[in-house]
Amino acid sequence: MIKKFLQFPDNFLWGTATSSHQVEGDCGNNDWSPSFFVKHKNKLPWCSQALEKIPPVGQACDHYRRYPEDFTLLQKINNNAYRFSLEWARIEPRKGEWDREAIAHYRVMLLDLKKRNIKIFLTLHHFTNPDWLALEGGWAKRKAVKYFCRYTHFVAEELGDLVDYWLTINEPSGYVYCSYLKGFWVPLQKNFFQGLKVFCHLAKAHRRAYKIIHQTIKSKFQRTATVGFANDVQAYTNYIKHRLLNQLQVYFSYKISNHGFYLLTGKKTHDFLAINYYFPVRLKRRGPSTSQTTVENEGRRITETNWLIHPHGIYEVLVDLAVYKKPIYITENGIATDDEDLRKRFIHEHLEEVYYATGAGADVRGYFYWSLLDNYEWAEGYRPKFGLISVDSRTQARQLKPSALFYAEIAKANGLWLDY
């Protein structure tokens, strides 16, 4: 057996990622809060459906209070970067009113990360909205853009001296798909034209927020900001390779899904590319439909969320996005499983493909595993286990999994061994 060491570039960032609602739990006043569903079920019809379909989040991992313990665990697994999000509903609990205690709390969290020499990737919007915004129609209304920009300016003013990388919006395509096209996320809509409006409003919000962050950081802190958004991407393929129609399917799927938000926002509003990759999409054998085939029938490896495991897909999307000639950070990549050997294999195989992508011209500068903790997974509740660290739902006790120690060794060595 031959062993080869795959060395990643110097100063490569090794991190993990979380989002506020998924690890902080119910703040009581966002549009995923059970109390919001109960209070407004007569005013907003979808709230009644949400009470039946959306698992209650509860206290999740209580990360809002237990962050010092979690940051210590970050250090134990040799992470030099951490991606997390702010809960807009905590910071602006009522329209136009700022909660100074909440923003001060987040500032203390950032200062703690700084003391530990951990790079900060801060997300401003990760799916949840303040309840007052949901009552006004959410992102389907144009005024959501104005509200988001006001929130962005406030956060930049208060935290701009501490943030290393800004992510305005997480997965705009995924948010629209799950919330407005398929209707299994809040607000449980199935309306293509409404989804299209939301997508356009998110793009407009990103363009404006990009300028606001840059201007605010430069004028107040005399620093240069680094701003992007987290793009959910898939590797598209078709069973039939020799038909032009089938290849056009793949082309338009890539263009709309992976490149759509870049096209709407323009190349000048992205200082770097942040991508979230989990699975590929195999298009149907016939017709122009872009729906996924049932991968279970092929007997391939799948995750507990029924996602096809296809490590080479991350290579394909990285090389495809290298055309923008921007630094790339993989801000989410992970697997839902209780099989620790499979999780370690997943991490190793995907990082192997990331290494090859750097050799093919993709300027990849960091990798964030999703997720640091076993957390709340939206409509799936707590069953899918993505975390490197388990969390006891009764005691909140944390436990490093074998995969966490495996990832820690990769981060420490800044590379991985390949056996062949």
DSSP state letter for 345? H
| Domains, the chain | 3-236+270-282+299-419 (3.20.20.80)
- What confidence score (pLDDT) does residue 295 get? 54
Q: What is the DSSP string of 188-199?
A: ----HHHHHHHH
What is the distance, to the nearest Å, from the Cα of residue 55 to the centroid of all Cα atoms in its chain? 20
Closest among 283, 179, 176 to 231, alpha carbons compared: 176
Mean pLDDT on 407-415 = 98
Mean pLDDT on 176-200 = 97
pLDDT band at residue 211 using 50, 70 and 90 as cut-offs: very high
Residue type, 285: R
Q: What is the DSSP string of 254-265?
A: IIIIITHHHHHH
161 to 27, 79, 216, 217, 376: CA distances (angstroms): 26, 21, 10, 7, 30
pLDDT band at residue 2 using 50, 70 and 90 as cut-offs: confident
pLDDT band at residue 289 using 50, 70 and 90 as cut-offs: very low
Mean pLDDT on 307-322 = 97
pLDDT band at residue 287 using 50, 70 and 90 as cut-offs: very low
Report the mean per-residue pLDDT for the chain. Answer: 95
Mean pLDDT on 106-111 = 98
- What confidence score (pLDDT) does residue 286 get? 54
- What confidence score (pLDDT) does residue 290 get? 43
Dump pLDDT digits (tens) for 258-281: 999 999 999 899 999 999 999 999
254 to 185, 197, 316: CA distances (angstroms): 24, 20, 11
| Residue 416 main-chain phi, psi, to 5 deg | -145, 155
Q: How many CB atoms lie within 10 A of CB 311?
A: 20
Closest among 372, 297, 296 to 334, alpha carbons compared: 372
- What confidence score (pLDDT) does residue 291 get? 46
In the predicted model, is pLDDT for residue 122 greater than 90?
A: yes
Helices (H), 335-415: 340-359, 402-413
